[in-house]
């Protein structure tokens, strides 16, 4: 048994290799390596340190809110309930996730709640309030219904602006929100129905159709508007509502093509169908989904995008079934490559585009004072589209460029009028969507099976234009933010004076 060394006796090291003492340069290199390793594993500021929630308001109209109370609000639950009702109303009226989040943060910060976290999905809003050394409060609100009410969304936007400016307390804000929720929409149902038909008739004229085609489009859209209302009373899912409406408008156009119109005018079915399906496209949801994806809300964007795809699929399904029924009745082949030269001079087309955008605004229940500014933005966007096509940049890039201009102007106009950008941008951009491409592609896919690749390529081209328009609106809104900081501050100053 070997003896262990005692006390200060060191073990024998004769068998180990000899080591040389470190030089001064080696000691310096070791110290530098240790410092580098320390910086890699431990940053100067802890990576999990919480960021100020109010920093999320940077770039929004609600930056630097006016705090109305000096400390923690004693009745935080009431403030959170109000913020959730506000968020639910905005979601129901079509607002994007970023706008809802910034509104919640601005309102709660202005009313004295600084320690909150907000979580938003496509159907729910959750707020967590966790002040230091106090019991946290978590509330959740689920949004189960949606409606067209851009006027209500603009009023909610103005309410948030007034709260952030310090001119409205919580009790007054609750009363005003109740009034907004209970107030009727600006336009009655019959006017919305007529506006639906007017848009279709005018837009058919913009595409190159004559008075006969416009008349057929007007009548068919009145019919599908009444059909959609009846299906809504029966609580039919939106997917089947959209499919039924696209089927009816396509079948009417095909029957007119097959048997002739009552007045004996030959009607091109493609141009009539486009006027009918364009308002059925989920433009607002698509723009909101792209906006949410770009702004860092992937769950909300995925939910809205799935809903958009289903609606788009319902449109395609209705058109395809109508083609099959028309083919069974002996429908003559349609020349899908047919082009439609302008039926009216440019000045008349400008007036028709303005009328079409006003009609869209009525169907979306936009506030009446926003109708003419929205029409002006739509006219400018249409002129940019014509200029792009004249310069030969292609239909995809022309539509995207026009959407950028519309998104930029919409933010400027909306802030001046006390409304969110979406309220102006969506009605103005609807005229950019490729209805003719969708119709032609579906005809090729359904009837001319030998040209399936051509039809699939057309659908991809239409999808590219649709997403280009949605992305262009969001890009225009982003580009306009540095230009509209003074507009947001002026709006808040006017609110304080009131």
State pLDDT tens for residues 72-107.
Answer: 455 888 999 999 999 999 988 988 888 898 899 999
Which of the 8 DSSP states describes residue 135? -
Mean pLDDT is lowest, of 31-40, 283-292, 344-353, 361-370, for 31-40
Mean pLDDT is lowest, of 8-17, 145-154, 278-287, 342-351, for 8-17
Under the banding of pLDDT at 50, 70 and 90, the label for residue 462 is confident
| Vertex 243: Cα angle to 237 and 248 (nearest 5) | 125
CA distance 432 to 343: 19
Under the banding of pLDDT at 50, 70 and 90, the label for residue 166 is confident
Reference 401, options 378, 385, 389; nearest CA is 385
pTM summary value: 0.78
pLDDT of res. 279 = 72
Mean pLDDT is lowest, of 10-24, 65-79, 192-206, 322-336, for 10-24
Residue 36 is encoded by which pair of tokens?
A: 């580098």
Reduced to 3 states, what is the DSSP secondary structure of residue 6?
Answer: coil
Which residues lie closer than 8 Å to 434 by C-beta, 6 or more apart? 395, 399, 461, 462, 465, 466
Half-sphere exposure of 477 toward its Cβ, with a 13 Å CA cutoff? 28
Q: Is the pLDDT of residue 46 over 50?
A: no
Residue 242 is encoded by which pair of tokens?
A: 């959209």
Q: Is the pLDDT of residue 7 over 60?
A: no
Under the banding of pLDDT at 50, 70 and 90, the label for residue 45 is very low
| Vertex 193: Cα angle to 188 and 198 (nearest 5) | 120
Q: Is the pLDDT of residue 9 over 70?
A: no
Q: Which residues pair with 125 in a beta bridge?
A: 120, 141
Which residues lie closer than 8 Å to 87 by C-beta, 6 or more apart? 100, 103, 104, 120, 125, 141
pLDDT of res. 49 = 41
- Give the Cβ contact number of residue 348 at 10 Å: 13
pLDDT of res. 72 = 47
Q: Which tops the pLDDT comparison, 274 or 227?
A: 227
Under the banding of pLDDT at 50, 70 and 90, the label for residue 290 is confident
Q: Is the pLDDT of residue 190 over 80?
A: yes
Residue 474 is encoded by which pair of tokens?
A: 């969001």
Q: What is the CA radius of gyration of the chain?
A: 30
Under the banding of pLDDT at 50, 70 and 90, the label for residue 120 is confident
Burial class (CB in 10 A: 0-12, 13-18, 19+), 148: middle
Q: Is the pLDDT of residue 381 over 70?
A: yes
CA distance 20 to 50: 49
Q: Is the pLDDT of residue 51 over 50?
A: no
**Please, where are the H alpha helices in 329-451?**
346-363, 371-390, 395-416, 421-429, 435-446
pLDDT of res. 48 = 41
CA distance 113 to 69: 9
Which residues lie closer than 8 Å to 487 by C-beta, 6 or more apart? 412, 415, 416
Taking CA atoms, 416 is separated from 30, 98, 365, in Å, by 62, 20, 19
Q: Is the pLDDT of residue 41 over 80?
A: no
CA distance 438 to 458: 7
Overall average pLDDT of the 305-334 stretch = 81
Overall average pLDDT of the 116-120 stretch = 88
CA distance 152 to 177: 10
CA distance 461 to 140: 41
- Give the Cβ contact number of residue 57 at 10 Å: 20
- C-beta separation of 417 from 484 below 8 A: no
Overall average pLDDT of the 14-42 stretch = 60
Q: Is the pLDDT of residue 313 over 50?
A: yes
Q: Is the pLDDT of residue 496 over 60?
A: no
Burial class (CB in 10 A: 0-12, 13-18, 19+), 37: exposed
* Order of strands across the sheet that contains 137-142: 116-120, 124-129, 137-142
Q: Is the pLDDT of residue 23 over 90?
A: no
Q: What percent of the chain has pLDDT over 90?
A: 25
Overall average pLDDT of the 243-263 stretch = 78
Mean of pLDDT over the chain: 80
CA distance 205 to 202: 5
Which of the 8 DSSP states describes residue 269? H
Residue position matching structure tokens 């008739």: 201
Q: Is the pLDDT of residue 405 over 80?
A: yes
Overall average pLDDT of the 221-240 stretch = 88
Taking CA atoms, 251 is separated from 44, 254, 282, 324, 338, in Å, by 68, 5, 21, 10, 19
pLDDT of res. 185 = 92
């Amino acid at each position: 048994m070997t003896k262990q060394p005692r006390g200060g006796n060191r073990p024998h090291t004769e068998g180990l290799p000899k080591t040389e003492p470190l030089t001064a340069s080696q000691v310096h290199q070791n110290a530098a390596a240790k410092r580098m390793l320390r910086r890699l594993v431990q940053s100067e500021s802890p990576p999990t340190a919480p960021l100020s929630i109010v920093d999320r308001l940077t770039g929004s109209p609600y930056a630097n809110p006016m705090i109305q109370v000096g400390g923690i609000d004693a009745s935080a639950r009431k403030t959170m309930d109000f913020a959730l009702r506000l968020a639910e109303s905005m979601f129901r009226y079509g607002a994007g996730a970023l706008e809802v989040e910034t509104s919640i943060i601005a309102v709660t910060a202005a009313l004295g709640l600084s320690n909150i976290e907000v979580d938003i999905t496509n159907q729910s809003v959750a707020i967590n309030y966790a002040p230091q050394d106090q019991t946290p409060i978590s509330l959740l609100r689920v949004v189960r219904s949606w409606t067209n009410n851009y006027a209500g969304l603009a009023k909610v936007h103005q309410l948030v602006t007034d709260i952030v400016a310090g001119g409205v307390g919580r009790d007054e804000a609750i009363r005003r929100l109740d009034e907004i929720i209970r107030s009727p929409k600006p336009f009655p149902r019959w006017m919305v129905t007529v506006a639906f038909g007017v848009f279709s008739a005018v837009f058919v004229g913009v595409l190159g159709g004559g008075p006969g085609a416009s008349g057929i489009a007007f009548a068919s859209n009145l019919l599908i508007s009444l059909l959609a209302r009846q299906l809504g009373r029966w609580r039919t899912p939106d997917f089947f509502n959209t499919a039924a409406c696209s089927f009816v408008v396509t079948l009417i156009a095909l029957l007119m093509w097959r048997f002739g119109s009552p007045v004996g005018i030959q009607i091109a079915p493609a141009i009539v169908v486009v006027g009918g399906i364009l308002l059925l496209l989920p433009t607002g949801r698509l723009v909101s989904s792209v906006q949410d994806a770009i702004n860092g809300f992937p769950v909300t964007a995925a939910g809205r995008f799935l809903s958009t795809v289903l609606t788009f699929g319902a449109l395609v399904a209705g058109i395809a079934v109508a083609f099959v029924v028309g083919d069974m009745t002996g429908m003559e082949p349609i020349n899908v490559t047919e082009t439609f030269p302008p039926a009216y001079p440019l000045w008349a087309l400008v007036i028709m585009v303005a009328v079409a955008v006003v009609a869209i605004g009525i169907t979306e229940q936009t506030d009446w004072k926003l109708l003419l500014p929205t029409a002006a933005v739509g006219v400018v966007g249409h002129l940019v589209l014509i200029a792009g096509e004249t310069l030969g940049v292609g239909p995809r890039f022309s539509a995207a460029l026009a959407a950028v201009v519309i998104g930029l102007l919409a933010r400027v106009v909306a802030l001046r009028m006390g409304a969110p950008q979406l309220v102006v941008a969506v009605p103005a951009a609807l005229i950019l969507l490729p209805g003719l491409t969708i119709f032609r592609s579906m005809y090729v896919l359904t009837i001319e099976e030998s040209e399936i690749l051509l039809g699939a390529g057309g659908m991809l081209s239409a999808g590219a234009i649709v997403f280009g328009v949605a992305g262009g609106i969001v890009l225009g809104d982003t580009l306009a933010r540095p230009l509209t900081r003074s507009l947001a501050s002026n709006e808040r100053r006017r609110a304080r004076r009131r």
